[in-house]
Amino acid sequence: MLSIIFAIISGISMTLQGIFNTRLEEKVGTWETNVIVQGTALILTLIIVIFFGKGNFKAVKEINKLYLLGGILGVIITFTVMKSIGSMGATLGIGIILIAQLASAGIVDAFGLFGTERVTFGFREFLGIGIMIIGIIIFKWRG
């Protein structure tokens, strides 16, 4: 149950962050917004690590260096979410983002990529993504 609550909080936070970043971008600029967003995230995370961190930064030597690209992906995510919401609006932009997330997660699961456990991704899962795509088309359709 806690995992479901975390997923709901994550989804709501992603939506609000996308909207807030887009509004900030309109006043201060795209890359300036990205600096503010990533900088405040860094400061907050450093504070949390100081008080609650139990990990070991030295262990970074033992992981696949590909996984260090998460920060770069964060910059890409912030930029592309702002641009999609700014040009399509929050509902359509987030809807397409969700479909892309679900499809890419399905590929990762189906092939067991990046050390994840392989999960069957069959007809029902493809049908679900197809229904979501149809939903976006219906949502966008102007009769």
| The pLDDT of residue 8 is above 70 | yes
* Mean pLDDT, residues 57-79: 94
* Mean pLDDT, residues 70-90: 94
How is residue 22 written in tokens? 């887009």
Long-range CB contact pairs, 109-114, < 8 A, 24+: 114/66, 114/67
| The pLDDT of residue 15 is above 70 | yes
Domain that holds residue 95: 2-140
pLDDT at 28: 97
* Mean pLDDT, residues 108-135: 90
Structural domain total, the chain: 1
pLDDT at 53: 95
What's the longest Cα–Cα distance across the chain?
Answer: 58
pLDDT at 77: 95
